């Protein structure tokens, strides 16, 4: 029996619980058929590299719940008849793949594609409990500071002059020309991106850009290099497409470009990077490494996916030109978003593609979801052209610099020399290394118990994760709440 089971001993969940879950899901999804024999506890333990007791515990639980049955002399099998209450309590998502209907008669299971199977089987994304009073969640801007009155005024301006054009399908799938021109101008000025408005495609946030890039450029089995640690949203998109990931380490200056020359990376065709503010470490890739990366890509004929998600927020350091600008736009796809500078539910981002790729991107965009809403695009274009974005950014830079200082002050006060703040003076989150006797899981648990949400950085690593690293998003928290949160954390870890 061939069953792909992955257990991760870094997770808080015990191994026997993980194995129980994996087997249960395989039974419910019909990948383990009714009546089918499962391996003996010894064979399963050997193949997974865990103790026999771990397997026995999971099997016993599955037998107790009616998923498996043990027959004397013929080993353990999947129950032929699954209990009704079990099927009735299934979430809708699982019902689609069932091989039994609710009344017990067999119905054909809906077969998923490789893409669907990957998504169905992947672990849920770890997040912070939204009910916690103080959440150091990453990627959340200071939403209460958004100039809503200005936005409303611009919205009304367009609604008042409502025309059929505003409501109809857009004639140009690349996005509103006025917005593309405004973005082109903004990127040239602030990020040294060199492009014409024809190379800019408006999309629904940078995650959609990553998804489209993946579909257009990556074949099943291709090798993609990713920063380690790195952004999960990109990794998952590549994996769902069937790509193999090669983790490239990140040091205090960002991705270690020379590791792209290693044997493991010899087949790499694309690399995903966050050079302006590495996610999650917060490092900034120096000019020298940027040039090395570009040289490597040119030599290799590889594509660089440059995700510039929050580099507008820099507190002191000078910006380094985007890879896209340094490369003269040849083999770099530049991705940006308004999720952090304005608000995430706006769902407007942009991708700057080499001229030769503009057509295929526009067509992929059309297949995916046609267009971004016209009204919001026009409002955003005015917001940029009338200087509101620059004004808002200036205010937010000052605000985030203060919030960042409050966080660092709190950490130094409560952890003294047991804390190391990593990364550059930029962005809306920072990664820290805490020296404590508690495991990462216990740190998160103890924080939760005092109403503080934070994430261990382990989830961002493909391998080689280090204990004691945590990511603190501070954009959405006032200085007072930041100080209070760190005070509570300090006490909880004493």
Ligand X SMILES: Cc1ncc(COP(=O)(O)O)c(C=O)c1O
Q: Whole-number minimum distance, CB 341 to ligand X, in Å?
A: 10
Using CB under 6 A as the binding rule, whether residue 313 contacts ligand X is answered as no
Among 54, 62, 184, 205, binds ligand X (CB under 6 A): 205
Q: Whole-number minimum distance, CB 237 to ligand X, in Å?
A: 10
**Nearest Cα to Cα of residue 244 among 7, 462, 457:** 462
Residues 439-468 that bind ligand X (CB under 6 A): none
In terms of CB distance, is 339 or 456 closer to ligand X? 339
Helix (H) or strand (E) holding 177: helix 177-191
In SS3 terms, 212-231 reads as: HHHHHHCCCCCEEEEEECCC
Q: Whole-number minimum distance, CB 359 to ligand X, in Å?
A: 23
Single out the segment in contact with ligand X by CB under 6 A; choices: 3-11, 294-302, 337-345, 398-406.
337-345
Q: Whole-number minimum distance, CB 280 to ligand X, in Å?
A: 8
Among 151, 309, 461, 470, binds ligand X (CB under 6 A): 309
Q: Whole-number minimum distance, CB 58 to ligand X, in Å?
A: 35
**Nearest Cα to Cα of residue 388 among 353, 431, 357, 342:** 342
Using CB under 6 A as the binding rule, whether residue 324 contacts ligand X is answered as no
Single out the segment in contact with ligand X by CB under 6 A; choices: 204-212, 262-270, 371-379, 411-419.
204-212
Residue 293: CB atoms within 10 A of its CB come to 25
Residue 337, classified by CB atoms within 10 Å of its CB into exposed (0-12), middle (13-18) or buried (19+), is: buried
Using CB under 6 A as the binding rule, whether residue 139 contacts ligand X is answered as yes
Question: 427-436 burial by CB neighbour count: b if 16+ within 10 A, else e?
Answer: bbbbbbebeb
Q: At how many degrees (to 10) do helices 374-385 and 177-191 cross? A: 40
Among 59, 279, 296, 470, binds ligand X (CB under 6 A): 279
Q: Whole-number minimum distance, CB 407 to ligand X, in Å?
A: 18
Q: Whole-number minimum distance, CB 277 to ligand X, in Å?
A: 8
In terms of CB distance, is 335 or 411 closer to ligand X? 335
Residues 82-111 that bind ligand X (CB under 6 A): none
Among 274, 276, 371, 377, binds ligand X (CB under 6 A): 274
Among 206, 223, 241, 374, binds ligand X (CB under 6 A): 206
Query: Cis peptide leading into 344, omega within 30 of 0?
Result: no
Using CB under 6 A as the binding rule, whether residue 207 contacts ligand X is answered as yes
What residue ranges in 49-109 does DSSP mark as E strands?
68-71, 75-78
Q: What are phi and psi of 434, to 5 degrees?
A: -110, 135
In terms of CB distance, is 348 or 379 closer to ligand X? 348
* 92 Cβ contact partners less than 8 Å away, ≥ 6 residues apart: none
Q: Whole-number minimum distance, CB 390 to ligand X, in Å?
A: 20
Question: 138-160 burial by CB neighbour count: b if 16+ within 10 A, else e?
Answer: bbbbbeeeeeeebbeebbeebee
The pattern of x and - marking residues 370 through 409 that bind ligand X according to CB under 6 A reads ----------------------------------------
Residue 487, classified by CB atoms within 10 Å of its CB into exposed (0-12), middle (13-18) or buried (19+), is: middle
In terms of CB distance, is 20 or 231 closer to ligand X? 231
What is d(CA 378, CA 158) in angstroms, rounded to the nearest whole number? 8
Q: Contacts with ligand X: how many residues (CB under 6 A)? A: 14
| DSSP, residue by residue, 376-398 | HHHHHHHHHHTTHHHHHHHHHHH
Using CB under 6 A as the binding rule, whether residue 490 contacts ligand X is answered as no
At residue 245, the 3 state secondary structure works out as: strand
Q: Whole-number minimum distance, CB 152 to ligand X, in Å?
A: 22
Using CB under 6 A as the binding rule, whether residue 339 contacts ligand X is answered as yes
Residues 209-228 that bind ligand X (CB under 6 A): none
Residue 135 forms beta bridges with which residues? 453
Using CB under 6 A as the binding rule, whether residue 344 contacts ligand X is answered as yes
Among 22, 211, 307, 312, binds ligand X (CB under 6 A): 307
Using CB under 6 A as the binding rule, whether residue 476 contacts ligand X is answered as no
What is d(CA 305, CA 474) in angstroms, rounded to the nearest whole number? 27
Question: 27-42 burial by CB neighbour count: b if 16+ within 10 A, else e?
Answer: bbbbbbeeeeebbebe
Residues 226-255 that bind ligand X (CB under 6 A): 231, 233
Q: Whole-number minimum distance, CB 96 to ligand X, in Å?
A: 26
What is d(CA 382, CA 397) in angstroms, rounded to the nearest whole number? 21
Q: Whole-number minimum distance, CB 230 to ligand X, in Å?
A: 8
Single out the segment in contact with ligand X by CB under 6 A; choices: 128-136, 149-157, 200-208, 384-392.
200-208
Residues 165-194 that bind ligand X (CB under 6 A): none
**Nearest Cα to Cα of residue 423 among 229, 283, 253, 277:** 283
Residues near ligand X (CB under 6 A)? 139, 205-207, 231, 233, 274, 279, 307, 309, 337, 339, 344, 349
């Amino acid at each position: 029996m061939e069953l792909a089971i992955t257990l991760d001993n870094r997770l808080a969940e015990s191994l026997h619980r993980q194995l129980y879950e994996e087997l249960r899901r395989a039974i419910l999804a019909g990948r383990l058929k009714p009546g089918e024999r499962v391996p003996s506890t010894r064979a399963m333990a050997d193949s997974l590299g865990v103790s026999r007791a771990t397997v026995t515990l999971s099997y016993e639980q599955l037998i107790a719940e009616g998923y498996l049955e043990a027959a004397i002399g013929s080993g353990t099998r999947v129950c032929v008849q699954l209990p009704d209450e079990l099927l009735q309590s299934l979430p809708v998502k699982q019902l689609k793949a069932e091989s039994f209907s609710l009344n017990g008669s067999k119905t054909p299971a809906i077969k998923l594609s490789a893409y669907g199977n990957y998504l169905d089987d992947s672990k849920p994304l770890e997040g912070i409990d939204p009910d916690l009073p103080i959440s150091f969640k990453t990627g959340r801007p200071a939403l209460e500071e958004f100039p809503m009155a200005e936005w409303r005024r611009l919205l009304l301006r367009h609604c008042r002059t409502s025309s059929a054009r505003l409501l109809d399908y857009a004639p140009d799938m690349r996005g509103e020309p006025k917005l593309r021109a405004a973005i082109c101008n903004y990127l040239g000025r602030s990020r040294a991106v060199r492009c014409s408005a024809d190379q800019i495609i408006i999309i629904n946030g940078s995650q959609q850009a990553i998804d489209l890039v993946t579909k257009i450029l990556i074949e099943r089995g291709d090798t993609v290099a990713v920063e380690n640690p790195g952004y999960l949203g990109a990794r998952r998109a590549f994996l769902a497409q069937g790509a193999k990931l090669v983790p490239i380490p990140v040091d205090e200056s960002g991705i270690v470009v020379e590791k792209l020359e290693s044997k493991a990376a010899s087949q790499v065709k694309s690399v995903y990077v966050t050079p302006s503010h590495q996610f999650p470490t917060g490092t900034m890739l120096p000019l020298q490494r940027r040039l090395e990366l570009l040289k490597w890509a040119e030599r290799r004929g590889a594509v660089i996916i440059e995700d510039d998600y929050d580099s507008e927020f820099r507190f002191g350091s000078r910006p380094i030109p985007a890879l896209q600008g340094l490369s003269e736009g040849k083999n770099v796809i530049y991705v940006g978003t308004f999720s952090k500078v304005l608000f995430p539910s706006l769902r407007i981002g942009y991708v700057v593609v080499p001229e030769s790729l503009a057509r295929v991107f526009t067509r992929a965009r059309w297949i995916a979801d046609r267009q971004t809403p016209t009204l919001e695009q026009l409002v955003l274009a005015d917001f940029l052209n009338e200087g509101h974005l620059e004004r808002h950014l200036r205010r937010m830079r000052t605000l985030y610099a203060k919030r960042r200082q409050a966080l660092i002050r709190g950490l130094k006060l409560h952890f003294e020399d047991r804390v190391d703040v990593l990364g550059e003076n930029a962005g809306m989150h920072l990664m820290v290394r805490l020296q404590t006797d508690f495991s990462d899981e216990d740190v998160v648990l103890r924080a939760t118990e005092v109403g503080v949400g934070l994430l261990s950085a382990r989830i961002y690593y493909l391998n080689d994760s280090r204990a004691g690293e945590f990511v603190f998003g501070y954009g959405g928290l006032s200085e007072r709440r930041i100080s209070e949160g760190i005070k509570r954390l300090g006490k909880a870890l004493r």
